[in-house]
Amino acid sequence: MNTATDTPSPAPRAEIVVNLEAIRHNVRRLRELVSQGGDAPAFMAVLKADAYGHGVVQVARAAREAGADWLGVATPEEALELRAAGDTGRLMCWVHVLGDDLGPAIAADVDVSAHTAAQVRAIAESARSLGRRARVHLKVDTGMSRGGASPADWPAVLTEAVLAERDGSLTVAGIFSHLACADQPDHPTNDAQEQVFRDAVAAAEELGLRPEVRHLANSAGALLRPSVRFDLVRVGIATYGLTPAPDVVSSEELGLVPAMTVRARILMGRRLAKGAGVSYGHTWVAPEETDVALVPIGYGDGIPRHASSTAQVQLNGRRADVLGRICMDQFVVGGAAGEGDEVVLFGPGTDGEPTAQDWAEWCDTISYEIVTRMRGRQHRRWVNETAR
């Protein structure tokens, strides 16, 4: 017998650990929160960009187990990856350009979006050539000024959709839009966008369209503004246990559990003499004799360079400061450590370690970017894969 397998292999140099029980918990909790004080809207877990860095196939399975009615992704390729992994539920994608072949997505029963009359025509043609009926969600711009038909172009999009519905090449399954300021519940733009959306839906209904789902809310809208929940909420960041509106409510207050932990093992520890400059540019100089440790990941692994000399980690159970610049593959933290000791960059925050939200604040960004960019050379593993 090979006894080598009896020896536990050392933890990898760096790893991303995704807790799928946290995903399931968050989906259940969020479905409960968005059902308070009204009819329960359908719940879409938004899994674009590899589920915000958490692993799209694993997160999809967990989200479905916890009751996600829909999954949403950006691109048709992302949708097809979920189909290839065996997901058969309602699934929507919303980022594709004219000329992209939507045939495979339509054939795989993926709902697609259309922002322009030309897109509606192209989807209808593609469906006709497949002998299928596409399911389309028409996007109206209600004030974000990103995607979607402007109120001026909306009638043309509707007219095109009515024609295509009549000839059987597509069904308008949804009408949707996106909020620009949902994380600031008192921002007047929310009222304005909601009104434009209601008008756009009314215009579609006047032409005889009967969309199955009207949807406007992202995580912040779904949690902070009940009136924008409509028939379906599209929940991304909160699914991963992170608050969409850190100035308003913490993830803990929402009862959510951050699912991602990033950790590494120390490459070496050493003692620096007073006056030693650390890392490129010597932006940090030891004010006195200082113990430091070398963390073997850097911006090549998604660690933001903006964290230089500002972020903290948890080293052997205690907070330690990042000293000097983050490099491509390494950075230095203050504190005594030996080779192979554990360092936690961020996690759920329940054991004294920083959170992705802390890193976002240190780096002047949002938690979305922190978790989504952790896609370098770390091992990634999933725990609690089967529902308890």
Q: Which of 64, 234, 325, 380 binds ligand PLP (CB under 6 A)?
A: 234
Min dist. Cβ of residue 364 to ligand PLP (A): 18
Residues 188, 193: Cα–Cα separation, whole Å: 9
Residue 46 in contact with ligand PLP, rule: CB under 6 A: yes
**Contact range with ligand PLP by CB under 6 A, out of 31-39, 189-197, 217-225, 257-265:** 217-225
Name the residue nearer to ligand PLP (CB basis): 9 or 145. Answer: 145
Min dist. Cβ of residue 66 to ligand PLP (A): 16
Name the residue nearer to ligand PLP (CB basis): 224 or 307. Answer: 224
Residue 265 in contact with ligand PLP, rule: CB under 6 A: no
Window 68-107: contact mask with ligand PLP (x via CB under 6 A): --------------------------x-------------
Yes or no: say if 157 and 110 are a contact pair by the CB < 8 Å rule: no
CA–CA distances in Å: residue 230 to residues 31, 74, 124, 275: 14, 21, 27, 61
Question: Minimal CB distance to ligand PLP: which residue?
Answer: 236
Q: Which of 135, 178, 214, 265 binds ligand PLP (CB under 6 A)?
A: 178
Residues pairing with 343 in the sheet = 264, 315
CA–CA distances in Å: residue 74 to residues 93, 150, 173, 223, 261: 5, 20, 17, 22, 24
Nearest to 232, CA basis, from 346, 124, 71, 102: 71
Residue 229 in contact with ligand PLP, rule: CB under 6 A: no
Residue 236 in contact with ligand PLP, rule: CB under 6 A: yes
Residue 177 in contact with ligand PLP, rule: CB under 6 A: no
Number of residues interacting with ligand PLP: please give it, by CB under 6 A. Answer: 12
Name the residue nearer to ligand PLP (CB basis): 106 or 220. Answer: 220
48 as an active site residue: the answer is: yes
Name the residue nearer to ligand PLP (CB basis): 74 or 327. Answer: 74
**Contact range with ligand PLP by CB under 6 A, out of 151-159, 218-226, 276-284, 348-356:** 218-226
Min dist. Cβ of residue 290 to ligand PLP (A): 40
Yes or no: say if 112 and 137 are a contact pair by the CB < 8 Å rule: yes
Name the residue nearer to ligand PLP (CB basis): 178 or 263. Answer: 178
Residue 218 in contact with ligand PLP, rule: CB under 6 A: yes
Q: Which of 200, 223, 237, 292 binds ligand PLP (CB under 6 A)?
A: 237
What letter represents residue 318's amino acid?
A: R
**Contact range with ligand PLP by CB under 6 A, out of 162-170, 236-244, 331-339, 356-364:** 236-244
Q: Which of 127, 149, 161, 235 binds ligand PLP (CB under 6 A)?
A: 235
What's the chain's Rg over C-alpha atoms?
A: 24
Task: Give me the active site residues, please.
Answer: 48, 280
